[in-house]
Structure 1
């Protein structure tokens, strides 16, 4: 039986469609433009945010001026730039300034508390080992290894675990950063969560790194400079890095001393007094401190409200001792 012209046309059309689909599939695998580029995320462990020596160089590891970090671009082909997705809400949608501030503080508070809890756990461990040492008992090999890790991480000047000064040095450094201070600095450095750095690199505090490819190259970087704006997998890592920086870098010894004075008198560390130790956080020096203190006062209402809602974390609330001498 002879096939009708209609059937022949349908068969021919189907063959052509199948052939075209086959060709398109082959081309999709061959065309590099269609393939997605894998982005290597730099973890906090591989971001060298502490590669600075000397007190006067601390400001080179952080954003220097608010005006300088307000508008940032990458020195690369923007078509090939991959932005890290951040869980940070889009605070620009808030038209009411008060609501925006409340939302910003409310979002970050649990994250800051989480990192402070980790510090508290470290501090408790150090205190326990210090008590064992004072009782002339032998520390376990595992605990000695962990203590040595803290000594390295927090850049302690004393390293001998048979010396009382080593434990005191650790306890001076391994302590919380007041929630209010962490919130206000995040607001200032990230322009209330709207800066390019926080949106693209989960970088809340304008931290710099110095290994090639560790972060984002700012447009304002001068010829000969090698710093990049650190890139983090999560906002928690940014907060953790910020706290470790304040607790370990020589430039912030005054900040730690202010906190230790409060501990000595069985008082909670407060943001205002510790802000006095932030002179080298920015090239603006005393002006930066003044702005931080001003923001603490201006946003006091929102900070108090956030504290009440989130049950602000304190050392005393968890029955953690001060310096165990």
Structure 2
């Protein structure tokens, strides 16, 4: 069972690759029945990769523009607005908040957190990363009860794009990822960066190791080129 679980986490097919080249359109709120692991991966990449690429490119373009403005002493009004938005004071802290980390990490986390796009939260709420909701006025779904008393809620997003944007924002403002932001400003190496994500999951360092394995076994660094 442990071996099979590892195969599922890594997305390695144990049923062959006969459907790898089948051209098909998938939707987030429908999970086809009796999919092979290869078909599950195909659906996941079809739905998630375009959204990650779009959001990453928008954020990277903004990061480069603000980095240039800071060096040239231009558009200081916008720079200060963004500092207030991201709750930082220094130029370095702002750049740490604005720089998006590699797509390979985002895709690997999305795969792990959503069981390759088949989790109930993915299907019913476009919630790829298990983002919790504390606002009763926003769209959300019940995840379950905590300690038999308090209901845990997850945000319901309008689209996968919105889910990816919310994820990047969380990574840019949460105090839990302050170390991670400092590291990502210095390097784009996904395997170095994931080591700073030990606070993303309760399993700590093991989570970082699993992310590296998912990135390696699925050649996700190709999305970083």
Q: TM-score under structure 2 normalisation?
A: 0.77
Gaps spanning 5+ residues in structure 2: where? 1-25
Q: 1 CA distance for matches of 2:82 and 2:215?
A: 31
Superposed structure 1 runs of 4+ greater than 4 Å apart: 223-227
Tell me which residue corresponds to 2:171.
Answer: 246
TM-score, with normalisation over the residues of structure 1? 0.55
- Counterpart of 2:157 in structure 1 is 232
Judge conservation of contact 1:275–1:293 (CA < 8 Å) in 2.
yes
Unaligned runs of 5+ in 1: 1-85, 134-138, 159-165, 263-268, 315-325
Query: Number of residue pairs matched?
Result: 199
What secondary structure does 2:144 align onto?
coil
User: Is structure 2 residue 60 aligned with structure 1 residue 120?
Assistant: yes
Contact 1:92 1:194 in 2 (8 A): no
Match of 2:104 in 1: 180
Name the SS for the 1:209 alignment partner: coil
For residue 199 of structure 2, give the secondary structure of its aligned residue in structure 1. Answer: helix
Deviation (angstroms), 1:183: 0.7
Q: Secondary structure at the match of 1:107?
A: helix
Cα deviation 1:63-99 (Å, max 9, x = unaligned): xxxxxxxxxxxxxxxxxxxxxxx94264544633223
Q: 2: distance between equivalents of 1:217 and 1:131? A: 46
Distance 1:123 1:298, change over 3 A: same
Please state how far the C-alpha of 1:254 moved relative to its aligned partner: 2.2
1:146-295 to 2 correspondences below 5 Å: 146-156=78-88, 158=89, 166-214=90-138, 215-222=140-147, 225=150, 227-262=152-187, 269-295=188-214
